[in-house]
Structure 1
Amino acid sequence: MPFNTEADDGVAGRDEWPYAPAVGVGPLRFGMAVDEVVEAAEVLGQSNVSECSPGPAIFSPTWKIEVHRRGMAPSAPAVTAYVSQAVGLFCVAADAVHGPQVAHDGLTLVGRDLVELERDAIAYAEAVDGHFRYTPEGYAGPDDPGVVMRAQLVGEALRSRPLFMVTRDGANTEWDSLPRDEYRNGQFHA
């Protein structure tokens, strides 16, 4: 059941990407190899591929693919995808300012004021007699283990920067699978 939320400033004109739990987001499918992610991301813009710094020994080598929108002045990547050698694409982060808009059952997730998103997540859960979840950092979002809500400082406001994920390389949860570049010891992503 779609849930209509208030429109946030700056989200008009964004690409809209569908999300399917455990399948993928937009043109990106979990399990894709690096070259497949780069090819699929061409719908949005130019990609840069780099190796991630080594994480815990349990994880295989990981690559980061930053996708910048075509025709925009140099800016933060609209989407950052993470690909593990062992499982392929396992994480897609949508930038709060430049990223495509993604919804979960009609609840818009990208670039939202975190207080408003929490209010809307609670209202949605009450409307459908469902649930919502908080991350260990205290951000509310849909009751889907494949959506990890993160905060991004935009000016003086905290906006939502969701990560769409599956577990990787023997991790127990998506939270355990966070790429090192996305988890900054509780610091906000900037």
Structure 2
Amino acid sequence: MIWWKRKAEAERARWVLDPLVGVGPLRFGMSREEVESALDQVVPDPAWDRGGSAPWQEYRDEGVTVFYGPGSRLVAVAIDALSGPLVRLRGVELIARVPSEARVDLLELARQEGRSVGVNRGGDPEVAGWGVSMGADQEWGRAAEGHIERRNRAITTALLVGPELAADPYGSEPVVRWRGVRKVGAKAGAWPSTSGRERPRWGWTPMESVGPLRFGMSPSQVAAALGGAVPAARQGAYPQSWPSVPPEAGQWRLHEDVFEEAGVTAHYGYWADVPVLGAVTVHRLTGPQIEFEGIPLIGRPVADVDADIIRHIEDRGAGLRLTCAGDQGPDGTNMYVRAVRAGDTMLSEARFCVEEWWEE
């Protein structure tokens, strides 16, 4: 999702899904050359093209990502919520809708056709018989002043696959190696939360510490500072790995520890080839309560937090920093307010970073 490439509805192509056969001008089984021809010879984003050898290619201007299986044949198409084609299945619009509303329509259509509906790892409907796996992203809109801003709701996206991937779209190659897919934990359609009264209040010092966590701590020191907490999940990679190839030989590097009970994720950087705490994400529904100049940062509708921070910095003539993902934070803090989905709503969490940390 590229938020600054958001398109108005009138600017978006309209495609029809032919389940397990194709979508719009694309047909599963097409070669790379045939896909490019079907997309009017549009050139894919070079960052993910790798000279035409990558297992997926992103066409960001069109809001489409295509995936290739054995023999470089098309096996899946992902549609972006903000800029991709508006895809219809039997009269049901799939893209850029409120997730719960799209879910109701899909369930009714599945009932009419006798299709079995599952739930994917994101908690959204998945229908193997149609090769459809739904998802959602942050909605962006245009403010009265003319700039693009985050909204408080999620809107639907979809992964559409051929018969080879239909049984498990997100768990199949090559989709499972796509950006961030491995990090998505399984959900059953519910988002766990901790009430405000049960959540501790943490202070923070920009680029130095967050609650009991000080930047530069080792993973074991982080766990000890959280009361001996055990990570619910660990993410890492091999130094020479690339999304399109298996991990190379070398030492596996820890990138992050997810502490679900504490409601935080610890992110590690490598200085002198040793993992040290470089950033902390405080989760939107379970993390400690943290404020910036009296503004609550965690677990609120994200557009409300954005508005509060913008008013604060405008009153003081301060600056605002914006990441490529659209996360924003006051200049000089290296703190960014992030938007994370909870059902149809996008809630706020915050990432606090050491000075040397580069946030995408």
Unmatched segments (≥5 aa) in structure 2: 1-194, 242-251
- Aligned match of 1:113: 301
Name the CA shift for 1:126/1:85 in 2 (closer, same or farther; >3 Å). closer
- 1:162 offset after TM fit, Å? 1.3
Matched, 1:103 2:277: no
Tell me, in whole angstroms, the C-alpha distance in 2 between the residues paired with 1:135 and 1:12. 32
Output the amino acid matched with 1:28.
L
Output the amino acid matched with 1:158.
M
- 1:56 offset after TM fit, Å? 7.0
- Aligned match of 2:341: 153
Tell me, in whole angstroms, the C-alpha distance in 1 between the residues paired with 2:287 and 2:349. 9
Mean CA deviation greater in 79-88 or 118-127: 79-88
- 1:49 offset after TM fit, Å? 6.2
Provide Cα deviations, 1:93-148, integer angstroms capped at 9, x if missing partner.
11100011111222221112111011101211133332333332333332245212
Tell me which structure has the larger Cα radius of gyration.
2
- 1:32 offset after TM fit, Å? 0.3
- Aligned match of 2:213: 28
Structure number with the bigger relative contact order (C-alpha 8 A, sep ≥ 6) is 1
Mean CA deviation greater in 46-55 or 115-124: 46-55
- Aligned match of 1:47: 231
Q: Percent identity?
A: 26
- Aligned match of 1:37: 222
Tell me, in whole angstroms, the C-alpha distance in 1 between the residues paired with 2:292 and 2:240. 31
* Within-5 A mapping of 1:27-176: 27-42=212-227, 45-48=229-232, 50-54=234-238, 61-69=253-261, 78-86=263-271, 88-166=276-354, 174-176=358-360
Unmatched segments (≥5 aa) in structure 1: 1-9, 70-76, 177-190
Name the CA shift for 1:55/1:106 in 2 (closer, same or farther; >3 Å). farther
- 1:63 offset after TM fit, Å? 4.1
Tell me, in whole angstroms, the C-alpha distance in 2 between the residues paired with 1:78 and 1:130. 30
Name the CA shift for 1:118/1:55 in 2 (closer, same or farther; >3 Å). farther
* Matched residue SS, 1:150: strand
Tell me, in whole angstroms, the C-alpha distance in 1 between the residues paired with 2:334 and 2:322. 13
Tell me, in whole angstroms, the C-alpha distance in 2 between the residues paired with 1:120 and 1:52. 35
Tell me, in whole angstroms, the C-alpha distance in 2 between the residues paired with 1:120 and 1:128. 13
* Within-5 A mapping of 1:5-24: 11-24=196-209
Tell me, in whole angstroms, the C-alpha distance in 2 between the residues paired with 1:62 and 1:167. 20
Output the amino acid matched with 1:67.
F
Tell me, in whole angstroms, the C-alpha distance in 2 between the residues paired with 1:124 and 1:145. 14
Output the amino acid matched with 2:207.
A
TM-score, reference length from structure 2: 0.38
Output the amino acid matched with 1:79.
V
* Matched residue SS, 1:17: coil
RMSD between aligned residues? 2.7
Output the amino acid matched with 1:175.
E
